[in-house]
Chains A and B, each alone.
Chain A
């Protein structure tokens, strides 16, 4: 290992010296051993590393008193790393002071901290625990005196070359982010390393955070041993369902250079080994039960914004409602937010855009849902707030976020498209029809129907009833002779009385009396349906009496008939009779019947 470094050392050394900057900077100072368990008398190395920017004059570190160890020899190596970033030069240089030691005693020994004084500041390293065993089981150390450098072949693989798989959490909620990284730790010289098996992340949505593209070794001290390490892969995982999941191991084929004893053989021989990382088990918990209706699968921390590209739409042009969800978490797994149906507006499926970034180890970004809204009918619409709920694993609860609401107006969409095309006219918009023109007289009307008007209806049933009555009357006239005679009696009597009056005027006394007698008898006959010519005076009297006619009327009637008969048959005896009085008398009597 050391020799490998020395190979590149010389050309760089001059650059280091030239590049040493004037201003002081802090340095890193630490100490490590190549083995923490050594056999009694076995050789091991203590490396004291000084890292910093300005390494022009690094003093030798002060070794502590080590009564339990023999110092077999020492050497040093330097390396530097110069980078130009934006025209600015930055240097990272390190000096390794290597001491070859062997233990004198059995048991647990301690190497006390080393010290270094640099630019009037004192730095100390950590103490190192060394366990000294009786026999050198760890390695077969060929005791070849005079060879103090190298000799680190055949070191067991387990502790010196391994692939670690780490996850930052082992128990997560569905959709919560877990970061898993795969890091190669190495203390050998490696000529080639290839990934043999990539880990499988079944059951997870994967977002890449980091993928190694070239060897980029860094130094790290683990348990007092110094390692070179390199992160190979780092991913963010989002579990898709609850349950027990495992991230399968990553495997690598590595060619390790086994250093040769021959100083001139720079490359040595290589040995191919396969190493595997451990399986990572992840327990995914389901999300809590009290899930709000607006929950669309978001786990993390989000905010929501909405915008409308315009407030008025003419024709059937769509209005675009853009809902943007920004935040950190499983952005890709968030489904479209629910938008309540609005009568008169047709909300189409959204166009979705995602913008995902890795910031630190957190997956951040935004998801944009662009809903085209097509107005179906004219009108004024309110697009309600869009609500979205997400689960925040940090406080283990659901949060609901919402956008503001919008108002928009649609016009010109009730016109059917073919009509517009046929006439060649373009509909620009719709409005209410214009007001009615000026008038000289306003036609007054009323909401109410006047009360009296309802009574008109009564006329019509009366009409029907009278039709029924008239019909009945007509039928009786044609079927009932008595009824018919009675119905005619008055008219006939009047006619006969008028006749007799005419005779009276003409002084035709004889005819007058006969027509008057005929009128009276005819009326009685018609009225009571009697054949008066066949009746005697007494029969007539009895007949009339049986019809409840007053006595005095009957006697007057009879006297009238007697008078008429007397005047007709013996005119001389009736000379004292007044024909005018008789005429009046007949009218009076007939009206009383």
Chain B
């Protein structure tokens, strides 16, 4: 009886759910793997679980869900090459392609600001701000210019990290969502009776702008927008 209780306890622990999900994945049982990974996520989010869950969704043909989980994994661990690779791969498998291709400078800045994760950015920001304050205090106390010059290094770091932190927080607050239904038509107003103005497919990334009853006003990266049912899409964060 005691052993059984321990087994039950272990089975629901996130690590075991995660490992169990991996073995289902290896055998090609993707729906079961999805369930296990989701159980693992209940206690604490982890980039590994999100990444593997994204893979299981991708193999199960759910591009939208895969993109959501890859984006979550990337939020937690933005430097992981697997996560970035699979996110790009899944995005290419969508029916709606994104035409906009940012220029080299913009994509470089984007990569720089996403080099550290949100949490890392926060703590590094704190450290750099602390060093900046310390060096400045030293300068105040003994008026040595060297401290002032030295404080410019943590100062610059602090500014960059602060921008990165703001970028991550903005990304979270802009309420991004991904279409998970195979095909959904965006309407000109929040209701069945309105005219269909846009056809969206599984995996299209949108921003939620407004909410009315069961309808959400969404905006596509291209700038087009429309009202779609709450059930056809899922928030990323």
Partner of A382, one of B81, B95, B119, B141: B95
Residue ID in chain A nearest B80 by CB atoms? A436
CB distance from A434 to the nearest CB of B (A): 8
Once the chains are docked, how many angstroms separate the CA of A381 from the CA of B94?
A: 8
CB distance from A265 to the nearest CB of B (A): 89
Q: Is A199 an interface residue (CB 8 A)?
A: no
B58/A442 in contact, CB under 8 A? no
Residue ID in chain A nearest B15 by CB atoms? A442
**With known contacts A343-B99, A436-B51, A460-B129, A447–B172 Cβ distance under 8 A:** yes
B45/A445 in contact, CB under 8 A? yes
A436/B82 in contact, CB under 8 A? yes
Residue ID in chain A nearest B89 by CB atoms? A432
B141/A470 in contact, CB under 8 A? yes
Residue ID in chain A nearest B40 by CB atoms? A442
Interface string of A449-479 (1 = CB under 8 A from B): 1000100110111011011101100000000
> A residues engaging B (CB < 8 A)?
342-344, 377-382, 430-447, 449, 453, 456-457, 459-461, 463-464, 466-468, 470-471
B76/A438 in contact, CB under 8 A? no
> B residues engaging A (CB < 8 A)?
14-15, 18-19, 22, 25, 40, 43-49, 51-52, 55-56, 58-59, 72, 75-77, 81-82, 85-86, 89-90, 92-95, 97, 99, 117-119, 122-123, 126, 129-130, 132-134, 136-138, 140-141, 172, 237
B22/A437 in contact, CB under 8 A? yes
Partner of A343, one of B45, B55, B97, B137: B97
**With known contacts A344-B92, A433-B86, A463-B137, A439–B19 Cβ distance under 8 A:** yes
Once the chains are docked, how many angstroms separate the CA of A381 from the CA of B201?
A: 12
Mostly helix, strand, loop or mixed at chain A's interface? loop
**With known contacts A433-B85, A447-B237, A442–B22 Cβ distance under 8 A:** no
B72 CB contacts on chain A under 8 angstroms: 447
CB distance from A331 to the nearest CB of B (A): 34
Beyond A437-B22, A463-B133, 12 additional pairs, beta carbon < 8 A: A381-B95, A431-B89, A432-B55, A436-B48, A436-B51, A442-B40, A444-B44, A445-B45, A453-B123, A460-B133, A464-B133, A471-B140
A442/B14 in contact, CB under 8 A? yes
B45/A438 in contact, CB under 8 A? no
Interface centre among B75, B97, B134, by most chain A C-beta atoms within 10 angstroms, is B97
A379/B94 in contact, CB under 8 A? yes
B15/A439 in contact, CB under 8 A? yes
A435 CB contacts on chain B under 8 angstroms: 22, 25, 51-52, 55-56
Once the chains are docked, how many angstroms separate the CA of A463 from the CA of B77?
A: 33
A445 CB contacts on chain B under 8 angstroms: 44-47, 76-77, 117, 119
Once the chains are docked, how many angstroms separate the CA of A431 from the CA of B55?
A: 10
A382 CB contacts on chain B under 8 angstroms: 95
A461/B133 in contact, CB under 8 A? yes
Partner of B92, one of A377, A443, A444, A460: A377
Partner of B86, one of A379, A432, A470: A432
A467 CB contacts on chain B under 8 angstroms: 136-138, 140-141
Partner of A438, one of B18, B82, B140: B18
Once the chains are docked, how many angstroms separate the CA of A53 from the CA of B59?
A: 79
**With known contacts A433-B85, A436-B52, A447–B76 Cβ distance under 8 A:** yes
B48/A439 in contact, CB under 8 A? yes
B97/A430 in contact, CB under 8 A? no
Partner of B129, one of A444, A457, A468: A457
Once the chains are docked, how many angstroms separate the CA of A382 from the CA of B93?
A: 11
A446 CB contacts on chain B under 8 angstroms: 44-45, 119
CB distance from A447 to the nearest CB of B (A): 6
CB distance from B136 to the nearest CB of A (A): 6
Once the chains are docked, how many angstroms separate the CA of A432 from the CA of B59?
A: 9
Residue ID in chain A nearest B44 by CB atoms? A444
A344/B52 in contact, CB under 8 A? no
Residue ID in chain B nearest A435 by CB atoms? B52
CB distance from B14 to the nearest CB of A (A): 6
Once the chains are docked, how many angstroms separate the CA of A445 from the CA of B172?
A: 16
B122/A453 in contact, CB under 8 A? yes
**With known contacts A380-B95, A433-B85, A468-B140, A441–B15 Cβ distance under 8 A:** yes
Residue ID in chain A nearest B129 by CB atoms? A460
B133/A378 in contact, CB under 8 A? no
**Interchain Cβ contacts under 8 Å between A and B, 14 examples:** A343-B97, A377-B92, A432-B59, A435-B56, A437-B22, A441-B15, A442-B14, A442-B46, A442-B48, A445-B44, A446-B119, A457-B129, A463-B137, A470-B141
Once the chains are docked, how many angstroms separate the CA of A378 from the CA of B97?
A: 12
B52 CB contacts on chain A under 8 angstroms: 435-436
